[in-house]
């Protein structure tokens, strides 16, 4: 039996757009309230994006999508929109996720293509008709608090002592204060292997950009190269980061910053993002009844500890975290 939201969306497609629908199939969702369905017509298929207005305003998606397309980036074309009820009908990019298409033989080719696409995104200075939210220290701290609230206290069921809360508060402030000094640009905010598609043309399609912000330039490269869903050795990550750094220089986006300083920013950014991600994965399990994301916590924790190892200033937090999570993180297998 179809749920009410899907019935409403299909009624819009059939009755108002007069589309002759043959079939509809759900697609794997993301870590949000959005849902996606492939709608089959006799000669073509589209993607129905279900965005409940009570949870999200899809006008940000529309504005960013249009700007990406104007800039030559392969975002999905919007075929039709229903803002009142929260539905978009999108171009279908197929099923070849970057995650499924990448392997040890083509890793350099595909990741360099993804990094070049990212640079094209970062050349966009403004979004017509939409002001990007600022990814400031307050937003960073709110995100890191998800780690404390949902992973430590809710998932691990650990009651924190006042001294532990103080340690976490001071650590989060230190991280946010440091990152706020980095160069800012347009940030996709979820630029990773599940939000990139390898198209039949060989181009990369870009998805899930509605939460874009003005934030640290290194953020999206970190999301891609320290992906929560696929791991590469640090040597390979640094090799690809070096390529990205050189292309940023060549495109005039950065100037005097050394690669050593760039790696430092990359590692700081990774600590912030993976604290957030571990909290989100825990919340998805406990609140949203999506336990599948628990299997992605070990890799994110590995990234987090790897980042913490780089900075003496975070040593107290690193030692505390290792003690708290001892025996609770399983081994991660790399490709």
Q: Is the pLDDT of residue 244 over 80?
A: yes
Question: How many C-beta atoms lie closer than 10 Å to residue 331's C-beta?
Answer: 6
In a domain, 178, yes or no: yes
pLDDT exceeds cutoff 90 at 157: yes
In-domain check, residue 300? yes
For residues 36 and 45, what is the distance between their CA atoms, to the nearest angstrom? 13
Task: Looking at the structure, tell me whether residues 171 and 58 fall in a common domain.
Answer: no
Please state the rounded mean pLDDT for residues 126-133. Answer: 94
List pLDDT tens digits, range 164-178: 999 999 999 999 999
The reply to whether 26 and 146 lie within a common domain is no
The answer to whether residue 330 sits within a structural domain is: no
pLDDT (tens digit, 9 = 90+) per residue, 76-120?
999 999 999 999 999 999 999 999 999 889 999 999 999 999 999
What CATH number corresponds to the domain at position 8? 3.30.200.20
Asked if 73 and 45 sit in the same domain, the reply is: yes
Do residues 8 and 115 share a domain? no
* 177 shares a domain with 103: yes
Counts for the chain of helices (H) and strands (E), in that order: 11, 9
Task: For the chain, give the number of residues.
Answer: 335
pTM, rounded to two decimals: 0.93
| CATH code of 217's domain | 3.90.1200.10
Residues 216 and 289 in one domain: yes
> In which band, very low, low, confident or very high, does the pLDDT at 56 lie, cut at 50, 70 and 90?
confident
Task: Give the mean pLDDT of 228-254.
Answer: 97
Q: Is 137 left (phi over 0), alpha (psi -120 to 50) or beta?
A: alpha
Q: Mean pLDDT, to the nearest integer, of 311-332?
A: 84
Q: Which of 173, 152, 144 is nearest to 272 (CA)?
A: 144
Going by the DSSP 8-state scheme, the letter that residue 123 receives in this structure is: T
Quick count: other Cβ atoms within 10 Å of Cβ 84? 8
Single out the residue in 66, 91, 116 at which a domain terminates. Answer: 91
The pLDDT assigned to 331 comes to 39
Nearest to 237 by CA among 203, 204, 269: 269
| Short-list 34, 41, 36, CA closest to 13 | 41
Parent domain of 73? 4-91
Dist. CA 9–CA 3, nearest whole Å: 10
Backbone angles phi, psi at 333, to 5 degrees: -95, 135
pLDDT at 326: 79
Q: Which residue has the tokens 């081994």?
A: 331
Number of structural domains in the chain? 2
Residues 297, 245, single domain; the answer is yes
Same-domain check for residues 243 and 171: yes
Note the Cα 50 to chain centre separation in Å.
19
Per-residue pLDDT band for 64 (boundaries 50, 70, 90) equals very high
**Quick one: 165 and 148 in the same domain?**
yes
pLDDT given at position 33: 78
Instruction: Indicate the pairing of strand 184-187 with strand 45-50.
Output: unpaired
Single residue among 48, 72, 91 that ends a domain in this structure: 91
Give the tens place of pLDDT for each residue, 180-216: 999 999 999 999 999 999 999 999 999 999 999 999 9
- Which residue among 91, 124, 151 closes a domain? 91
């Amino acid at each position: 039996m179809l749920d009410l939201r899907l019935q409403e969306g299909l009624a819009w497609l059939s009755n108002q757009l007069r589309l002759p629908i043959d079939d509809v199939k759900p697609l794997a969702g993301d870590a949000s309230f959005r849902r996606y369905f492939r709608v089959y017509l006799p000669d073509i298929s589209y993607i129905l994006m279900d965005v409940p207005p009570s949870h999200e305003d899809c006008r940000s998606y529309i504005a960013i999508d249009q700007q990406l397309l104007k800039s030559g980036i392969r975002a999905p074309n919007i075929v039709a929109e229903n803002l009142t009820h929260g539905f978009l009908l999108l171009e279908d990019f197929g099923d070849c996720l970057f995650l499924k298409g990448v392997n040890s033989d083509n890793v350099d080719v595909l990741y360099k293509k993804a990094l070049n696409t990212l640079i094209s995104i970062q050349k966009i200075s403004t979004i017509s008709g939409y002001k990007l939210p600022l990814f400031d220290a307050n937003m960073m701290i709110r995100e890191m608090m998800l780690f404390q609230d949902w992973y430590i206290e809710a998932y691990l069921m650990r009651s924190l002592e006042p001294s532990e809360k103080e340690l976490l508060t001071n650590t989060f402030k230190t991280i946010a204060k440091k990152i706020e000094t980095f160069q800012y640009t347009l940030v996709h905010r979820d630029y990773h292997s599940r939000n990139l598609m390898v198209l039949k043309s060989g181009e990369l399609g870009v998805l899930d950009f509605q939460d874009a912000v003005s934030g640290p330039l290194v953020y999206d490269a970190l999301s891609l190269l320290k992906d929560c869903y696929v791991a590469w050795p640090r040597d390979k990550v640094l090799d690809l980061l070096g390529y990205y750094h050189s292309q940023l220089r060549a495109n005039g986006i950065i100037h005097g910053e050394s690669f050593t300083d760039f790696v430092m920013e990359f590692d700081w950014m990774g600590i912030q993002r993976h604290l957030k991600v571990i909290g989100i994965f825990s919340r998805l399990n406990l609140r949203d009844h999506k336990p599948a994301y628990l299997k992605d916590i070990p890799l994110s924790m590995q990234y987090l500890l790897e980042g913490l190892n780089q900075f003496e200033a975070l040593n107290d937090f690193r030692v505390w975290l290792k003690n708290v999570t001892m025996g609770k993180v399983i081994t991660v297998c790399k490709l």
